[in-house]
């Protein structure tokens, strides 16, 4: 089986490439070649800019793929261009959507693929919804062989998922005994999935004709409170976090760039029903707990001490929130 990954060197796609190779899949990456690939000659890299569709068409003119995965499609225009380029020349087209598209606030505490898509807060999610709708139109009109995959919060080794991102900033504050900020009361449930687990389920979908016109969410079954998430990050580095809770609306008002991701996603509990992906890929079970994931990330930082630094922008955001919360 021949598979083309548009992108292929990101957080999730690296793990998916590795699993695909282990299963004997012939993997091609289409990207600008700006990130080094850990796979050497095992992956065929086609260097090009997806923004130049005429060039891309020429570069893959002689190729036919059993599956194409676009890891970097974010707007309806991206999907329009892909439909035009791959119609009639690909067995399966996989769009990477997002679990953030689901209705906010959630109508039920367990989210399934049939949960309505509605996010009035976050343009990122709104664009993903528009992409999905265009693909459904293409499937209904001429059976364009699309498959939609919705990851939730997916991380890999070296990532430290917190309210403020995934770098070392918040962990550094924990180690130094400085307060950190967590939205709400820290008790809403959140689901974090290691990319290596996600990859097993995802690769299992590639080339499966049953997936045409289907949507899949792929997440871990473990749900943790945001307090537990930050405590687990701290524990991986021998630290106990000093948590200051603030309403999501307060955070969004004083650090507006955090608003869409909080009000449109993280402030709500996110617990997922993974029964559908398990029916299609029976071998899928998320095996990496968040505790194990953070242990692996701590090991990664031990090998990359140069990355154990704080982002001044995030530090400023946290300090601004702490000051204004104290002066409210």
User: Over the stretch 230-247, which tens digit does the pLDDT of each residue have?
Assistant: 999 999 999 999 999 999
Helix (H, G, I), strand (E, B) or coil at 310: coil
Q: From residue 83, how far is each of 70, 178, 270 by CA, in Å?
A: 11, 50, 31
> Any idea what the Cα angle at residue 142 is, between residues 139 and 144, rounded to 5°?
45
In a domain, 318, yes or no: yes
Lowest mean pLDDT among 15-19, 49-53, 135-139: 49-53
Q: Which pLDDT value is given to residue 324?
A: 97
pLDDT at 159 over 80: yes
Residue 198 placed within a domain: yes
Percent of all residues in the chain with a pLDDT value above 90, rounded to a whole number: 91
Let me know if residue 63 belongs to a domain.
yes
Q: Is 164 within the bounds of a domain?
A: yes
- Give yes or no: residues 135 and 78 share one domain: yes
In whole angstroms, what is the distance from residue 283 CA to residue 86 CA?
30
Write a three-state SS string for 91-156: CCEEEECCHHHECCCCCCCEECCCCCECCCCCHHHHHHHHHHHHHHHHHHHHCCCEEEEEECEEEC
Domain membership of residue 280 (yes or no) is no
- Same domain, yes or no, for 187 and 197? no
Q: What are the tokens at 79?
A: 């999907």
* Domain around 321: 157-191+223-270+291-326
- Count of alpha carbons within 13 angstroms of residue 282, beta-carbon side: 0
Proportion of the chain above pLDDT 70, given as a percent: 100
Residues 266-281 pLDDT 10s: 999 999 999 999 999 9
Same domain, 230 and 261: yes
Establish if 87 belongs to a structural domain.
yes
Q: Which pLDDT belongs to residue 63?
A: 86
Domain-located, residue 141: yes
- The pLDDT of residue 212 is above 90: yes
CA distance 63 to 74: 24
Q: Clarify whether residues 98 and 135 are in a common domain.
A: yes
Please tell me whether residues 318 and 175 are part of one structural domain.
yes
What is the rounded average pLDDT for all residues in the chain? 96
| pLDDT for the residue 35 | 77
Judge if 214 and 227 occupy the same domain. no
Q: How far apart are CA 139 and CA 146, in angstroms?
A: 7
Task: Return the higher-pLDDT residue of 53 and 173.
Answer: 173
Domain match, 143 and 232 both: no
Name the band, by pLDDT with cuts 50, 70 and 90, for residue 62: confident
Q: What is the pLDDT of residue 37?
A: 79
Say which CATH number the domain at 138 has: 3.40.50.720
Instruction: Report the CATH number at residue 259.
Output: 3.90.25
Same domain, residue pair 168 and 198: no
Instruction: Say if residue 106 is in the same domain as residue 247.
Output: no
237 shares a domain with 208: no
For 27, left (φ over 0), alpha (ψ -120 to 50), or beta? Answer: beta
pLDDT score at 272 = 98
Q: Which of 275, 264, 277, 218 is nearest to 106 (CA)?
A: 264
Give residue 155's pLDDT: 98
Q: Which residue has the higher pLDDT, 11 or 302?
A: 302
Asked if residue 229 and residue 206 are part of one domain, the reply reads: no
136 plus 40 within the same structural domain: yes
CA dist., res. 206 & res. 328, Å (int) = 53
Interval 15-41: pLDDT, tens: 999 999 999 999 999 998 777 778 988
- Domain total in the chain: 2
Q: Which of 81, 91, 33 is nearest to 57 (CA)?
A: 81
The tens digit of pLDDT for each residue in 90-130 reads: 999 999 999 999 999 999 999 999 999 999 999 999 999 99
Look at residue 108 and tell me if it is in a domain: yes
| Strands laid side by side in the 44-47 sheet | 44-47, 26-31, 2-6, 67-70, 93-96, 146-151, 214-218
| Mean local confidence (pLDDT), 131-141 | 98
The pLDDT value given to residue 284: 98
pLDDT for 8 beyond 90 = no
Q: What is the mean pLDDT of residues 55-59?
A: 90
Task: Name the DSSP class of 45.
Answer: E
């Amino acid at each position: 089986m021949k598979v083309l990954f548009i992108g292929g060197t990101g957080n999730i796609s690296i793990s998916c490439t590795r699993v695909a190779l282990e299963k004997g899949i012939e993997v091609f990456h289409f990207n600008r070649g700006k990130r080094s690939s850990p796979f050497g000659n095992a992956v065929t890299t086609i260097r090009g800019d997806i923004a130049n569709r005429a060039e891309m068409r020429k570069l893959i003119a002689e190729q036919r793929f059993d599956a194409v995965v676009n890891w970097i499609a974010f707007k309806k225009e991206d999907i329009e261009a892909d439909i035009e380029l791959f119609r009639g020349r690909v067995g399966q087209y996989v769009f990477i959507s997002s679990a953030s598209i689901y209705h906010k606030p959630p109508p039920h505490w367990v989210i399934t693929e049939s949960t309505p898509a509605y996010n009035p807060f976050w343009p990122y999610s709104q664009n993903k919804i528009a992409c999905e709708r265009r693909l459904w139109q293409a499937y209904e009109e001429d059976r364009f062989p699309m498959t939609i995959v919705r990851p939730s919060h997916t991380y890999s080794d070296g990532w430290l998922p917190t309210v403020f991102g995934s770098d070392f900033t918040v962990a550094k504050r924990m180690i130094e005994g400085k307060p950190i900020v967590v939205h709400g009361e820290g008790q809403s449930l959140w689901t974090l999935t290691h990319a290596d687990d996600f990859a097993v389920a995802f690769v299992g979908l590639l080339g499966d004709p049953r997936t045409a016109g289907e949507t899949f969410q792929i997440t871990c079954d473990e749900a943790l409170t945001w307090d537990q998430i930050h405590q687990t990050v701290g524990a991986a580095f021998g630290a106990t976090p000093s948590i200051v809770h603030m309403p999501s609306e307060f955070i969004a008002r004083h650090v507006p760039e955090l608003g869409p991701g909080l009000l449109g996603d993280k402030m709500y509990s996110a617990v997922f029903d993974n029964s559908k992906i398990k029916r299609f890929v029976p071998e899928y079970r998320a095996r990496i707990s968040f505790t194990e994931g953070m242990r692996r990330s701590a090991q990664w930082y031990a090998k990359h001490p140069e990355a154990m630094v704080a982002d001044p922008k995030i530090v400023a955001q946290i300090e601004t929130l702490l000051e204004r919360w104290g002066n409210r």
